[in-house]
């Protein structure tokens, strides 16, 4: 039986066309059948409302809802690439050192491959990377996504002031939208992305308890296969999503959340490690970003220590990257001004190229 056959027949052609267009969009979308039936009931009610007023406001709500529902990856997921030798090369390309984190990722991929070969399900460990600012926590998300061939999305928790930011708000009002979890999935266009939960220790103090409660559900394999967003009002399966969380310290993270994660300490970089990172990773990238070629800047080996530590010890590499970028930009200006095409930096002239602090 066609659920639309009992609809009022005296609607204007424009109204009918609008609702019919939504119906066709729902019919062609890959969404759960139960949800399709729910939307059909909404469209039937919408057509009936056209006889008595209130149609316009309700139409906006339903049209917005249909747009969101139809755009989500309810069933689509990417195929994992579980070649651990390739993955090791990609992780090394993104990060120098950090072998403990790399080993844990490669171990998980190995277990996942063995279980896949036997058609068994392997639950992903939820890694919590703990370390000071600039130690490379966030970039492990993109590195792991590239290594496994998965989509990547990030949810920033810094300053988050309400659990509704994660969970979404009811579609009672036309301008409401889903929470950041559903928005991230829409961005990833896949139901099994690498989802980075960034800086989960930096949420607003007033909302901390509520946000931690949502995180418990989000990270619990026994619950996240039916994650409810208030706007969708329909469960979404997050069981194949691989979560990675980051924080500066665990002091402000609820015990129930910590119990669901594997805590991995991110050590500070030594000066020797920073020099290798600067030579092999940062400088080549900054040269490309600046439109310069290899060989236009040559830095003597005994000069790197002054570049790495211009102001004393720094646990991460962000200050180091800013310093190198400042050196390259000053030289770029000299090149454009016609004052040279190649520059050799050593202890005698490095101070004139370092940024002013």
pLDDT in tens, 110-126: 888 888 888 777 776 78
Asked if pLDDT for residue 331 goes beyond 80, the answer is: yes
Closest CA to 182 of 173, 191, 172: 191
Pairing mode of beta strands 127-130, 152-156? unpaired
| Alpha-carbon distances, residue 12 vs 33, 47, 345 (angstroms) | 29, 10, 77
At residue 7 the predicted structure's pLDDT band, cuts being 50, 70 and 90, is: very low
For residue 259 the two structure tokens come to 């119990």
Predicted TM-score (pTM) of this structure: 0.83
Give the pLDDT confidence score for residue 216 in this predicted structure: 94
Give the pLDDT confidence score for residue 319 in this predicted structure: 84
Tens digits of per-residue pLDDT, 12-68? 556 777 788 888 888 888 999 999 999 989 888 887 776 666 577 788 888 889 999
For residue 157 the two structure tokens come to 């928790």
Are the beta carbons of 231 and 172 closer than 8 angstroms?
no
Which residues, 6+ apart, have CB-to-CB distance to 201 below 8 Å? Answer: 157, 247, 248, 249, 250, 251, 252, 253
Asked if pLDDT for residue 323 goes beyond 70, the answer is: yes
Asked if pLDDT for residue 191 goes beyond 70, the answer is: yes
pLDDT > 90 in the chain, percent? 54
Rounded distance between C-alpha atoms, residue 206 and residue 126, angstroms: 26
Give the pLDDT confidence score for residue 14 in this predicted structure: 66
Asked if pLDDT for residue 1 goes beyond 60, the answer is: no
The beta-strand segments (E) located in 73-216 are 127-130, 152-156, 194-198
Give the pLDDT confidence score for residue 108 in this predicted structure: 85
Tens digits of per-residue pLDDT, 260-291? 999 998 877 888 888 998 998 899 999 999 99
Asked if pLDDT for residue 141 goes beyond 50, the answer is: yes
Lowest mean pLDDT among 6-20, 81-95, 320-334: 6-20
Asked if pLDDT for residue 309 goes beyond 90, the answer is: no
Give the pLDDT confidence score for residue 129 in this predicted structure: 93
If DSSP codes are grouped into helix, strand and coil, which group holds residue 127? strand
């Amino acid at each position: 039986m066609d659920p639309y056959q009992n609809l009022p027949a005296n609607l204007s052609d424009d109204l009918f066309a609008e609702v019919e267009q939504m119906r066709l969009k729902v019919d062609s979308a890959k969404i759960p059948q139960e949800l399709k039936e729910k939307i059909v009931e909404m469209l039937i009610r919408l057509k009936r409302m056209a006889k008595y007023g209130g149609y316009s406001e309700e139409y906006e709500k339903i049209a917005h809802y249909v747009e969101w529902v139809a755009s989500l990856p309810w069933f689509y997921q990417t195929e994992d690439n579980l070649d651990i030798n390739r993955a090791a090369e990609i992780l090394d390309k993104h990060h120098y050192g950090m072998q403990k984190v790399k080993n844990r990722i490669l171990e998980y991929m190995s277990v996942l491959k063995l279980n896949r070969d036997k058609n068994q399900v392997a639950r992903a460990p939820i890694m919590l990377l703990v370390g000071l600012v600039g130690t490379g926590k966030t970039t492990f998300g993109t590195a792991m996504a590239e290594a496994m061939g998965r989509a990547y999305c990030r949810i920033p928790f810094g300053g988050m002031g309400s659990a509704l930011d994660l969970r979404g708000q009811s579609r009672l009002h036309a301008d409401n939208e889903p929470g950041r979890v559903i928005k991230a999935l829409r961005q990833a266009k896949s139901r099994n992305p690498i989802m980075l939960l960034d800086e989960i220790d930096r949420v607003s103090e007033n909302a901390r308890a509520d946000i931690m409660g949502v995180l418990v559900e989000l990270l619990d394999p026994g619950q996240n296969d039916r994650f409810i967003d208030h706007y969708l009002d329909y469960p979404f399966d997050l069981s194949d999503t691989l979560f990675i969380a980051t924080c500066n310290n665990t002091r402000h993270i609820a015990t129930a959340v910590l119990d669901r994660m594997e805590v991995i300490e991110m050590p500070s970089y030594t000066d020797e490690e920073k020099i290798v990172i600067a030579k092999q990773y940062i400088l080549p990238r900054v040269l490309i970003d600046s439109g310069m070629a290899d060989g236009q800047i040559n830095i003597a080996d005994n000069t790197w220590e002054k570049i790495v530590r211009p102001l004393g010890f720094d646990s991460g590499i962000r200050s180091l990257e800013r310093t190198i970028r400042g050196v390259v930009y000053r030289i770029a200006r000299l090149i454009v001004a016609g004052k040279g095409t190649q520059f050799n930096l050593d202890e005698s002239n490095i101070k004139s190229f370092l940024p002013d602090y």
